[in-house]
Structure 1
Amino acid sequence: MTLSPLQLAAIVSAGVPGIYPVGAEAVREDSGDFDSAIIADSAGRRWRVRAPRRPDASMQLEAEHLILQSFSPSLRARLPFAVPTVAGIVPYAGGNVFVYTHIPGSVYDVDQLAELSRREVAQGRTSLAAIIAKDIATLHVMPEDIIYEADLPSYSSEQIRRRKIAELERAAATGKVPADLLAHWQAVLSPGPMWQFRPRVVHGDMGAENLVLEVTPSQARIVEVTGWSDVHVGDPAQDFAWLYSCEDIAFTDEAVEVYRQQMPQLPDAYLAQRANFYAEFAIAQWLTHTVETDDKDGATHAVSMLLDIQDDLRSSGELLGQEDTPPLMSGPQDQES
């Protein structure tokens, strides 16, 4: 069932004491997993409301609730950005509707963020790429105990590699992954130094859509990070994958380099390669989803994108054979232990 902003406002009004909605507006979600709205109440406060459309989406919101509960006031105070607080949970249609605090701001796509970053530098201010990198670094040095105590997932580097192999096998089973790209990814996922890294607390769904910015003529800053349903202990490269869809590679490179400088130990030398791999591999994951849900148009689009990736790798000389070893990108060679 799809819920309109007004329906979500009515659910909040009936189920959360002290919130009396006077207005509602839709919020765009990157996935079709949730119905979302921003609710304005009679006291001038604003709230974000999310309702799951499917059981697995409901589980995501429950997981997010657990991690947000784990963020103590002292832990929140250490973060350079705000983190939502769950203000209410309303049972509805066999699931739960979640109500969160909301900080006003704007959301931009990754290329717009790069443009804003260039503007900040041109005006003699800290680049947005550096701000993003520092925020990710702050998250990655959070204590892993908050993940363990909330009973959220924790993966070793080898478990992550094997999970990706399993996902690649699912994609290959569709018969639609280009053969040379499949061999390339098999080579990337072979055992080796690329998959030897220290797992850290990661956001897991970091992306432009989860960064809320305040942009004025005098500054651009991140005021809130949302979308905490996939927090876990895992590969720090995952939180950089979204940056590799940016057309301005200098923006991405700067973010990775500032992150390296901010971390107490230099990240492993293959972090950028894994992040780029995750960005490419997301298309294969999407292909699997489209085939399993019989979305023929989506599958056709996914295959076209995979062919583009294969062509780009071939033209750049980066396309690996199944027996090849991924080369090391240029950059610091130190590796954290």
Structure 2
Amino acid sequence: MARPPLTLAALATAAMAGLEVRAARAHTRGSGGAFDAVELHSTDGRRLLIRAPRSQTAESEQSSDLVAMRALTTGIRSRLPFDVPAFVGQAPIGPTRAVVTEFIPGAGRTADELTATPELAADVGRAIAAIHALPAGFVGDAGLPRRTAAEAREAAVAVIDRASDSGRLPAALLRRWEEATDDDTLWRFAPTVVNGQLGADSFLVDGDRVTGIVGWAGLAHDDPAHDLHWVLTSTGEAAERTLEAYVEARSGDADAEIARRALLYGELELARWLLHGLDTHDETIVADAVGLLDGLVASVHDRSSESLTTDTGPVLAVADVERMLDETPRSAAQRETGATMLTDSYDVSELRRHLDAAGSEPVDDRDDQDLTAPIPLDLSDWGDATPPAATGADSEDRPA
């Protein structure tokens, strides 16, 4: 059951001593999200966001996000050309807690919209490169996951083996993926700091500029290709510009095979979707995954070689990716990859929440700027009484 905006606004005043709220409005990307989220305007001009998880999975994701936000110190954030949510307070609500962060202005965009113009596509590439250029020491200091190139390959092999053991994986794909994991050159890379759950829904933009990135529960030291696979699902005309700008910004530090590994990770999302359906005993998901796998086979069947190459085009249509991510819990996804992430990646929601949650937001409260007008608040008469109910309290989308 969604919590009314006024209830969360009152809770924020308990989380932050001295906070006076003058307006609040529901912050959502649609119904069925994992969080109840409300944007707050204080009397001193601050804009805040309060989020309360609706499930245990969402609560775990939020906890991991908090660990990451605290690891991203002021010094680390100063190296990034965009804003990252900053923790400002929390308060108990029932069996869980609500967390207040600074609100980051900007609008959400689809993968195609992020790569529709050369200017924005390039800024997206530079934003990802800035994450990967961060010094890795703080990751270990914060106790966040660290994975070597060999461990990244082992994790991919584990997903392939599980999918193969299911008997539902086409032989052509099994051969294609095994060739990729057997190719030593593909796995000669230096791990970097990664967001770990990066997807189109992670970005907030204003015009042709990335203003913020949200959803850091998967922060780790890992294969940088994990943060790029979503780009290959885009059909935006400037999608290649994102990869070009990324490589340029890395100034020679990007390995030559990063695009091929990103493509592999994108294709393995189909395997994870299949495994999610099997794990949850959902034959509808299984059938859907089998159909998507068959479609991938058809897309490479006529090629002279079935080895992994980036000229195969997008692995999935953007609509398919967003649907998968919106239906899959992120935490599950991480289990499938063998990653030691603390929470959900794909923040395109059950696959995003389940996987690397493949979510259109692993269900999360991405800062949507298409909000209704602020709702004036007058909290002076509430006293100890229960805050008045408000309609339209919607949840924010995003997971695992």
Q: Of the two structures, which has the highest relative contact order with CA contacts closer than 8 Å and spacing of 6 or more?
A: 2
SS of residue paired to 1:243: helix
Report the equivalent of 1:223.
211
Amino acid at match of 2:297: Q
1:177 paired with 2:169, answer yes
In the TM superposition, residue 208 of structure 1 has moved relative to its aligned partner by 1.3
Report the equivalent of 1:148.
140
Q: How does 1:114-193 map to 2 (within 5 A)?
A: 114-115=115-116, 117-118=117-118, 127-193=119-185
1:12·1:19 contact (CA, 8 Å) conserved in 2?
Answer: no
Report the equivalent of 1:333.
none
In the TM superposition, residue 114 of structure 1 has moved relative to its aligned partner by 2.2
Amino acid at match of 1:63: S
Report the equivalent of 2:193.
201
Label 1:258 to 1:22 Cα distance change in 2 as closer, same or farther (>3 A).
closer
Label 1:5 to 1:156 Cα distance change in 2 as closer, same or farther (>3 A).
farther
In the TM superposition, residue 271 of structure 1 has moved relative to its aligned partner by 0.4
Amino acid at match of 1:3: A
Count of aligned residue pairs for this structure pair: 308
After TM superposition, the score normalised by the length of structure 1 is 0.82
Amino acid at match of 1:104: P
SS of residue paired to 1:134: helix
**Structure 1: tracts of 5 or more residues without a match:** 119-126, 321-325, 330-337
**Structure 2: tracts of 5 or more residues without a match:** 312-400
Report the equivalent of 2:109.
108
Label 1:328 to 1:268 Cα distance change in 2 as closer, same or farther (>3 A).
farther
In the TM superposition, residue 178 of structure 1 has moved relative to its aligned partner by 2.3
Q: Which moved more, 1:270-279 or 1:252-261?
A: 252-261
Label 1:51 to 1:181 Cα distance change in 2 as closer, same or farther (>3 A).
farther
Report the equivalent of 1:305.
292
Separation (CA, whole Å) in 1 of partners of 2:30 and 2:136: 29
Q: How does 1:39-78 map to 2 (within 5 A)?
A: 39-43=39-43, 45-78=46-79
Report the equivalent of 1:263.
250
Report the equivalent of 1:323.
none
Q: Which moved more, 1:39-48 or 1:139-148?
A: 39-48
Report the equivalent of 1:28.
29
SS of residue paired to 1:41: strand
In the TM superposition, residue 312 of structure 1 has moved relative to its aligned partner by 0.8
Amino acid at match of 2:187: W
Label 1:23 to 1:241 Cα distance change in 2 as closer, same or farther (>3 A).
same
Q: Deviations 1:76-121 (Å, cap 9, x if unpaired)?
A: 2221101110122223343332222112221010111222x15xxx
SS of residue paired to 1:23: strand
Q: Sequence identity, in percent?
A: 28
Amino acid at match of 1:242: W
2:132·2:193 contact (CA, 8 Å) conserved in 1?
Answer: yes
Label 1:66 to 1:316 Cα distance change in 2 as closer, same or farther (>3 A).
same
SS of residue paired to 1:201: strand
Report the equivalent of 1:211.
203
Amino acid at match of 2:250: M
Q: Which moved more, 1:8-17 or 1:204-213?
A: 8-17
Report the equivalent of 1:88.
89
Report the equivalent of 2:80.
79
Separation (CA, whole Å) in 2 of partners of 1:172 and 1:8: 47
Label 1:196 to 1:102 Cα distance change in 2 as closer, same or farther (>3 A).
same
